[in-house]
Every structure is written in structure tokens, then in C-alpha cells.
Amino acid sequence: MKLEETKLKGVLKITLDAFEDHRGYYIETYNEDLYKKNGIDVKFVQDDISVSSKNVLRGIHGDQDTWKLISCLEGEFYLVVLNNDENSRQHKQWVSFTLSEKDYNQILVPPKFGNGHLVLSERTIFHYKQSTYYNPDGQFTIRWNDPEYNIWWPSENPIISQRDELGHFVD
């Protein structure tokens, strides 16, 4: 396991060790003791996946309390992580990554940060562990194309939900 700091304080890129041979590959995607040994002492309580097709954009969502550990199980996606902490000097700054099933990377996203992803392959399985149980009442949504953030996406016309188009939950 290799940890790499990113330009946003608290956001880490984690490269996992993989065992490969003529049959394929094997990856341990999470080991609580190993993560703690590497300074990541976060208790995860929920796992989620999102399966999407090419050009689907999901997010930018987050809340004040949840850590997320994001990985790509199948396909490839472009991930944006945005600092939404009003007390941070990096407020409104963002960083991007391309994750795929072939790179063995994970991104650790702290509380008060939002994340969104755009599917680049025909089909993608987006996986994330959460440190809290999902609570829609505590969530924030930032529009994917809000000019205040000037986020670059590799698509100008993605497939999005009404929530993501409007920047909030739809009643």
C-alpha cells in the first residue's frame, strides 16, 4: 500500500498492492489493521456501489460528517473531489483523478468534501465505503457545472439526474 497526499489537505490517493499471474489478479481492497498502521484510523460502517453507463455524471455530493473511500471495481471514471469546508483556506478548490479497474487506486475523501464522477467507459462500477450511514437530510449538492467552481469535466453534455441539474434534492 502506498499513500500519496494530493493538493487538497486531507484527500489521499492510495495505491493498493496487487498479486498478478496468468489467471488474473488479486487485490485486498480493505484491511482495517493495515489502514490504521498507515495512519488512516477511520471506522467504515457502510459500503455502496453505483453502476452506470458511459457519460453518466453523478454528484457532487457530500456532508459534514462522512469519510469516503472510493474505488473503481469495473470500467473507468473521472472523479472530482471538492472542498466544501467554509472554514478552510482551500474552500471551493477541487482536485480530479481518473480511476479504473486496472490502476488499483483508491481516493480517501474527508468530511465536508463533496465528490462526483463521470463514467468514461461503457459501464462502470463505482464503489465506496462510508464512515456514517447514509442520511439524505445532511447532504449537500453542488451543481456539476456551477461557474463559481470552474470544474473541468471531460464531457460538456453528461447524463445527469434532476437533483444534480438543480443542485439540490427534488421534492
pLDDT in tens, 61-77: 999 999 999 999 999 99
**Domain ranges for the chain:** 2-156
Return all residues near 29 (Cβ < 8 A) that are at least 6 apart: 16, 71, 106, 127
CATH number, domain 2-156: 2.60.120.10
Residue 63: its pLDDT value, please?
A: 97
Q: Which residues contact 21 (CB under 8 A, 6 or more apart)?
A: none
Catalytic residue annotation: 61, 128
Q: Which helix (H) or strand (E) holds 54?
A: none
User: Is the pTM for the entire model greater than 0.75?
Assistant: yes
- In degrees, rounded to 5, the angle at the alpha carbon of residue 9 between the alpha carbons of residues 88 and 11 is 120
Average pLDDT, rounded, for the chain:
95
Percent of the chain residues past pLDDT 90, beyond the cut = 91
User: Cβ(68)–Cβ(139) under 8 Å?
Assistant: no
Q: Which three cell numbers stand for residue 129?
A: 465505503
Cell digits for 79?
Answer: 472523479
